[in-house]
Amino acid sequence: MALKIVKGSIDRMFDKNLQDLVRGIRNHKEDEAKYISTCIDEIKQELKQDNIAVKANAVCKLTYLQMLGYDISWAAFNIVEVMSSSKFTYKRIGYLAASQCFHEGTDVIMLTTNQIRKDLSSPNQYDTGVALTGLSCFVTPDLARDLANDIMTLMSHTKPYIRKKAVLIMYKVFLKYPESLRPAFPRLKEKLEDPDPGVQSAAVNVICELARRNPKNYLSLAPLFFKLMTSSTNNWVLIKIIKLFGALTPLEPRLGKKLIEPLTNLIHSRLVITLHRASVEKNVCLIGLVLPIVCVCVCVSNAVLISLSSGMPNHSASIQLCVQKLRILIEDSDQNLKYLGLLAMSKILKTHPKSVQSHKDLILQCLDDKDESIRLRALDLLYGMVSKKNLMEIVKKLMLHVDKAEGTTYRDELLTKIIDICSQSNYQYITNFEWYISILVELTRLEGTRHGHLIASQMLDVAIRVKAIRGFAVAQMAMLLDSGHLLTGNMQRNGICEVLYAAAWICGEFSEHLDDPMQTLEAMLRPKVASLPGHIQAVYVQNAAKLFATVLQKHEGATDSQAAQDTSQLLIERLPLFVQSANLEVQERASCILQLVKYIQKLQQKDVEVAEEVSALFAGELNPVAPKAQKKVPVPEGLDLDAWINEPPSESESEDEKPKAVFAKEEPKQSRARHIEVDEKELARRREARKQEQANNPFYIKSSPSSQKVYQDAPGVEHIPVVQIDLSVPLKVPGMPMSEQYLKLEEERRQKERADKKKKDKKKKKREKRGKGKRDDSGPESEEDITPAHQVDIVTEEMPENALPSDDDDKDPNDPHKALDIDLDKYVPSAENTLHKVTVCMLHAEKQGDLSITRHFLV
Amino acid sequence: MIKFLLMINKQGQTRLSKYYDHVDVGKRAALEANVVKCCLFRKKEECSFVEYKDYKLVYRQYAALFIVVGITDDENELSIYELVHNFIEVLDKYFNRVTQIMFNLDKVHIMLDEMILNGCIVETNKNRILAPLLALDKMAES
């Protein structure tokens, strides 16, 4: 027995402590994993010992290992044991380990509730401090509910050290258990006037966080904060308060007016001296004030604008002041200041674009900076600074950058930005869509980009929505299809070959604009196409069929039946390659179309006119549909979605036959008859099948599918307003277009217009009204003079009748801050008291009970 | 609020990590690797703020050690920049040599806990931060 004890203590002598562990790991660089697993085994042994010191040591080592990436949740119970030790050093280690590895899913947390409560009411302030710190990392809703009251009492503790921590942790408690906000709030308010500055700033912190999410509940505190702002000298507190005001001013316009003066004083006094010093380090915290001040100025002037009763003359002056100071920041050589200056400018840009636009040259300069963060910020700013006049130049400059850019990530970023800038607010700033399409085509020449998909979707979007440009677009796309380099380019997903997807679709859908559909058809069916990704091939096949229809129509119109039969023959020769494709989609489409063409050929041999029927296959306009349209479709009256449709199973088979029947190839006689029939029902069924195919195809870009409603309205295409096309610029451009020439053309055109302005004034206004359609022109006055090169009719998105586009559906229902949105002016004091009484009783009961360790764990 | 704080050496190994927003243990390694990649390859003249997914990273280099703090958008970047410097000064005051930091990481954690609580800055006064630590040391000796 004595030997055992001696043996035990000898073992303990060789235990590693944390230092040894770290040293050991460093010395075992090659076989680190093995060494660590031996250490973990030793730790497991140590944890089985009774001695609390040994356990604490083991837990300490575990904390280090956890940081290296090893999971230590198996030791959770041991951690709780160490936490319950009475010695501060061990308790500390236990809490540290708990804060590193406990989370809401850890089940032993409920064992800790009592222990934490004991620590919170301990006479030693460091014990309490440790408990509070640790708690903030792993508080769960249950813990929050149980301990909320204790923490609230701690907020009025004598030691400021404890008060500070208690105040801060209340925020986490509020998030997890929102009902605690109401009773705790009056105490929190008191802390704002606490004599100790640490506690005060903690209270400001918490209230600022709360108010940011639900500002209207905290408006009553505004005068208190105002007093704090004018009297406090602590910069950190000032920063927070100013940010808070930024959130409050939109709701209370008078507040804005009151704030302008003190803020302007602040800007003047704090920033004038500091910005001219060489070493910025010392005054960095003062400069950190700039950002929130800017935010508030923006909000303030916003608020004033909204309540434009007396028309404050100063608000634009304060914005000018801010912009001036920011310009100084951006011109500074310190990169950090530049970054912050740009960041603040982008905030001002959202509400006062005019003030920022005068600094365009500076921003463009920043684009050339070596630092990537600064370049990205400058790009962001440009996004907001474009107007109709300067869009072309800006994009031109960006294209230059794209050529110069080395790494692909920056180049990709530029690409996305260019497209974003051009397509913002429904293409508001593009005056010449031909130029835009030529830009897109130039972008396709970039190698190794991952945004082929984006360019493709842009092309599709423009081609569908801007009717006037379709002819030009189709010509460009036909050239793309012909060009060899795209086919040999990289074949990965989202590579530049995605553009071919768009090209093929556009050529197929708007094939009536094609000069030489035969050539395009041949280009689509080249054997090399089979090396493209599956989804692109599928589109090729489908659109080859559409082109086939157009070609047939052309040939039969010219009564050239031989050529018509040659075309069918061509298809029959080329399609089998696709029928053998590995991709299911391609196989299906190719085999469908192959069979169709075979029947058509048979009919052609009998000299029957088939072109009409074949083009009827592809009749109907495809319009873009609004993204939320499906949700807004009202449920028709008398329809109960929860009622059973049929008796369960037996009748469901009858529905399978319909889709099968459309693709029936086994009964040639039947399908033959259907060919000649061609009535509305047949067309509807075919459309239905095609729609289903498209819906099931995961690769189909959904920006252009049609909803059921469109097809029903198909004959009523006339309701889309069509405007006269004013072609002052020739549409035909030989060869690959260079966007440069559009700039020159645009200049000439604008000059001509300015010269003729007076004569055509009335006519222009009329045209503008009809031509603009849904676009709201909120740009500066000078832009009114520039009419677009083409009167474009942007087809608007389809929505069910009387549906309004709204953004309500996007909010996350699980957001904890939503639960905190309660009216704090009516709080219930009585509930607080009863809760307090109950917990006091529980504590009494504990004290009288047995003080063994197991009892501590009972909640 | 502050999402996490990492101390990384020049080889990219994490020396200390503290998360104020729970991240699964498995995902931590990936996160740290990405963050390291973003920060280590920046040149000296570039600014200390990097945008990474939906956080901003504020980093500072001290000889062979990088300190990276991940913050959300609402936090003032310059104040965090100064906080990092403050942290280093506190470490400097307590430990005499850098190697001692590595062997006493639990103490570094304690210091950090005194400075940042629940993602917010609590204390920036060096003496007040070190007070509990010194008390702890005294208790351990006795």
Q: pLDDT at position A282, please?
A: 38
d(CA A347, CA A341): 10
A152 contact partners, CB below 8 Å, separation of at least 6: A166, A170, A180, A183, A184, A187
**Residues of B numbered 24-53 whose beta carbons fall under 8 angstroms of chain A's beta carbons: which are they?**
25, 28-29, 43, 45-51
Mean per-residue pLDDT over chain B, rounded: 84
Among residues A551, A456, A554, which one has the least CA distance to residue A505?
A: A456
Q: Which residues of B touch A93 (CB under 8 A)?
A: 106
**Which of B102, B105, B117 shows the shortest C-beta gap to A168?**
B117
* Chain A residues within 8 A of B22 when measuring between CB atoms: 103-104, 137
| A366 phi and psi angles, rounded to 5 deg | -65, -25
CB contacts, 8 Å: A69 with chain B: 25, 28-29
Where residue B117 falls among pLDDT bands split at 50, 70, 90? confident
**Cα–Cα nearest to B124, from B133, B113, B115, B137:** B115
**Exposure letters A230-264 (e unless 16+ CB within 10 A, then b):** eebeeebbbbbbbbbbbbbbeebbebbbbbbeebb
Q: At what angle do helices A534-557 and A584-605 cross, to 10 degrees?
A: 20
Helices then strands (H, E): number in chain A?
A: 44, 0
The closest CB to that of B46, out of A161, A292, A371, belongs to A371
What tokens were used for A394? 């800006």
Distance CA A594, CA A577 (A): 11
- Compute the average pLDDT of residues B53-65: 85
The residues that bridge with B14 in the sheet, in sequence order, are: B8
Residues of B in contact with A370 (CB under 8 A): 43, 45-46
Q: What is the pLDDT of residues A408-450, one digit of tens each?
A: 667 777 788 888 877 776 677 777 888 888 888 887 776 666 6
By Cβ distance, the residue of A22, A168, A285 closest to B102 is A22
Phi/psi of residue B50, each to 5°? -125, 140
> H or E segment at A372?
helix A372-385
Q: How far is A264 from chain B (nearest CA, A)?
A: 20
Query: Is A171 in contact with B14 (Cβ distance < 8 A)?
Result: no
Which of A176, A336, A368, A370 should one mutate to test binding to chain B, selecting the residue with the greatest count of B CBs within 10 A? A336
Residue A363, classified by CB atoms within 10 Å of its CB into exposed (0-12), middle (13-18) or buried (19+), is: buried
| Cα–Cα distance, A384 to A330 (Å, whole number) | 18
By Cβ distance, the residue of B20, B79, B105 closest to A285 is: B79
Asked whether residue B92 carries a pLDDT value surpassing 60, the answer given is: yes
Measured CA distances, A534 to A454, A537, A586, A697 (Å): 18, 5, 7, 11
Nearest to B76 among A19, A292, A374 (CB): A292
DSSP code at position A444 = T
- DSSP state, residue A41: H
**B122 interaction partners in chain A (CB closer than 8 Å):** 164-165, 168, 198, 202
Distance CA A322, CA A242 (A): 15
Confirm if B132 and B114 have CB atoms less than 8 A apart.
yes
Output the pLDDT for position A311.
Answer: 38
Helices assigned H by DSSP within A69-176: 76-83, 88-101, 109-120, 125-138, 141-154, 160-176
> HSE-up of A857 (CA within 13 Å, CB side)?
14
What H or E segment, with its residue span, contains residue A105?
A: none
User: Can you give the three-state secondary structure of A724-738, one letter per residue?
Assistant: CCCCCCCCCCCCCCC
Within 8 A of B74 by CB-CB distance, chain A residues are 212, 243
Q: What is the DSSP string of A160-188?
A: HHHHHHHHHHHHHHHHH-GGGHHHHHHHH
The closest CB to that of A126, out of B48, B118, B132, belongs to B132
The reported pTM is 0.60
Backbone φ, ψ for residue A608 (5° rounding): -95, 140
pLDDT given at position A458: 83
Q: Rounded distance, CA A344 to CA A367, Å?
A: 17
Residues of chain A with pLDDT under 70: 1-14, 233-236, 266-316, 318, 406-409, 425-426, 446-450, 484-496, 621, 624, 648-680, 702-740, 743, 757-819, 822-859
Rg (CA), chain B: 15
pLDDT of the residue at A104: 77
β-bridge mates for residue B8, sequence order = B14, B66
Kindly report the nearest CA distance between residue A712 and chain B, in angstroms: 44
pLDDT at A791: 53
Q: Does B123 touch chain A (CB under 8 A)?
A: yes
